[in-house]
């Protein structure tokens, strides 16, 4: 095999790696976007629940407050996980 043939073979292998990685990156971007969209739905629910609790603070049950805190903690962890994936 000549040097030209070896370099051509190497070039083709690199091109294949690049194409595969490009597809994986595209899929990863879509996956992250889907996760973001899901988190936005949860964010809106959390904000609504928080607004209800703040509005009815005196009447809000301990259970409702604990539930809102739990949802908020889960949401925070989900955003942190997503942020790490973007690094």
**pLDDT greater than 80 at residue 75:** yes
Residue 69: what pLDDT?
Answer: 81
Lowest mean pLDDT among 34-48, 49-63, 73-87: 49-63
**pLDDT greater than 70 at residue 57:** no
Q: Region 19-27: what's the mean pLDDT?
A: 84
**Helix 62-86 vs helix 3-55: angle between axes, to the nearest 10 degrees?**
160
Q: Is 35:82 a contact under the CB 8 Å cutoff?
A: yes
Considering the entire predicted model, what is its pTM? 0.61
Q: How far apart are CA 64 and CA 10, in angstroms?
A: 62
Model confidence at 40, pLDDT cuts 50, 70, 90, reads very high
For residue 34, the enclosing domain spans: 3-86
Q: Region 58-75: what's the mean pLDDT?
A: 78
**pLDDT greater than 70 at residue 55:** yes
What is the total count of domains within the chain?
A: 1
């Amino acid at each position: 095999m000549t040097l030209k043939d070896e370099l051509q073979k190497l070039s083709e292998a690199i091109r294949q790696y690049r194409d595969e990685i490009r597809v994986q990156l595209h899929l990863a971007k879509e996956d992250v976007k889907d996760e973001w969209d899901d988190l936005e739905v949860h964010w809106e629910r959390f904000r609504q629940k928080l607004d209800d609790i703040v509005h009815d603070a005196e009447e809000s049950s301990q259970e409702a407050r604990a539930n809102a805190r739990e949802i908020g903690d889960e949401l925070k962890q989900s955003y942190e996980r997503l942020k790490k994936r973007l690094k």
